[in-house]
Amino acid sequence: MFKRRTPEAPANPPQVVKPGGKGRPTPKRSEAEKRRRQPITAPSSRKEAYKKVRARQADERVKARAGMARGEEKYLLKRDKGPVRRLARNYVDARRTFGSYLMYALFAIVILSLLPIPAARLLGLFAPPVVLLIVLAEGVFLSRGVKKLAAERHPGEDTRGVGLYAAMRAMQIRRLRMPAPAVSLGEKDKV
């Protein structure tokens, strides 16, 4: 009766979306609690509780490993996240590198050095440093190339360490790379 009258508010007020906001109103606590509620089934013993926890954690690890292998950004390690690192992975995976055959070459050199032939033993002595120098030179060239490409394509992104990342990935056996290669050999248009 003695209240000040306010103008009638519209039935559906326009929602103002703040920049950086989530774009929807915050749910009421009661609604959020209703969504979270699950029937409580307490384990009968501590052993059973540990089994459930271990089983859940194992499922999460399997899911995370599969997601990482597919290259899903959500599951990647911090060192693998971001568009610059994805560019470096694709840059390396699109090329056939000598570094990816390094382990095979070193294994062959060790086998050769075990033979009773003096020339093979001499090769086993001098080949490893030569092979490592080749891999090092290849890593330097890959590093330079990926840094240059990252600076062109992603000028605002942090490119620190991307060269070493690319060189280390080039030394891994292609089938064992994690995340798995997203481009096939020779497919440079995706890079």
How confident is the model over 1-31, as pLDDT tens digits? 677 776 666 666 666 666 777 778 888 898 8
pTM confidence score:
0.68
Q: pLDDT tens, 161-182?
A: 999 999 999 999 998 888 888 8
**CA dist 15 to 9, 21, 31, 72, 156, Å?**
13, 12, 20, 33, 33
* Ordered DSSP codes for 70-117: HT-TTTS-GGG-SHHHHHHHHHHHTS--SGGGHHHHHHHHHHHHHSS-
